[in-house]
A and B are shown apart, each in its own frame.
Chain A
Amino acid sequence: MVEWSDQERSIITSIFASLDYEDIGPKALSRCLIVYPWTQRYFGGFGNLYNAEAIKTNPMIGAHGIKVLHGLDRAVKNMDDIKNTYAELSVMHSEKLHIDPDNFRLLADCLTIVIAAKMGTAFTADIQAAFQKFLSVVVNALGRQYH
């Protein structure tokens, strides 16, 4: 089981309490598709991904970004058992979506950068450490049931 200090818990809940999902979700996913273009392989049915501008304004990508970001909510609510919380989703990402789990790390890195851009200098090293720890636990849990 992952150990969380009180400070880490409070940092995570605070970030998500003030998170603008409609803004951050689309930004994180579109940035991932632009910075790591091979991730576009999973979005064949999402319309025009021809260039950065198309990706940024694609409404299907935007909607999916919001959905994925909300997927983190269950981890925030169950910080002491993230592994089991994501067991079913992990199976789904493996058996149905066939997503290489390394992509979870790429999306997590892009989300960190989008949050850093939003928070500016308020995104201190402490906050970065807690946020990245949280994301890496989620990323591990999502890849855990792959077979």
Chain B
Amino acid sequence: MSLSSKDKAAVKALWAKLSKSADDIGADALGRMFQVYPSTKTYFSHWNDLSIGSGPVKKHGKTVMGGVGLAVANIDDLVKGLFELSEKHAFELRVDPANFRILTHCLLVVVASKFPADFTPEAHVAFDKFLAAVSLALSEKYR
């Protein structure tokens, strides 16, 4: 399910609309994920506050969306473009890849709720494919 040129164009067009609100989207998606999928909190036992709108959640949401932005900029070669992040996730963070799908779903829900007119089915399929490709690139070095 690799990205066609049509997919890439759709992702870039959607990102152009989202990028100004990227930090909010990231914070909302992350906070939501912790509440809807409590197992994801196991990776953040070192935080003092995982509630929606908390300092750590906002900060990390921004970090995560920075990664998404980097991926958009490197959409033509995600494995190469996300090399460092891939190493980090494989050797340092070791997040079970099943969680990438969970966060992807929460991102899609937040984008749909904040940008209902722009998140058409066509934009949805391209963005879902893109985030799946990003997840694959991030887990590239896992084994």
- B-facing mask of A25-44, CB < 8 A → 1, else 0? 00000110011000000000
CB nearest to A121 among chain B residues: B113
Instruction: Contact check, B52 vs A113: say whether CB atoms are below 8 A apart.
Output: no
Contacts of B36 in A (CB 8 A): 125, 128-129, 132
The bracket for how many chain A residues form the interface is 20 to 34
Is B119 part of the contact surface with A, judged by Cβ < 8 Å?
A: yes
- Cα of A116 to Cα of B110 in the assembled complex, Å: 8
- A107-142: which have CB < 8 Å to B? 109, 112-114, 116-121, 123, 125-126, 128-129, 132
- Cα of A126 to Cα of B35 in the assembled complex, Å: 8
Instruction: Spell out A's residues near B (CB within 8 Å).
Output: 30-31, 34-35, 52, 55-56, 109, 112-114, 116-121, 123, 125-126, 128-129, 132
Instruction: Spell out B's residues near A (CB within 8 Å).
Output: 31-32, 35-36, 52, 105, 108-110, 112-114, 116, 119, 121-122, 124-125, 128
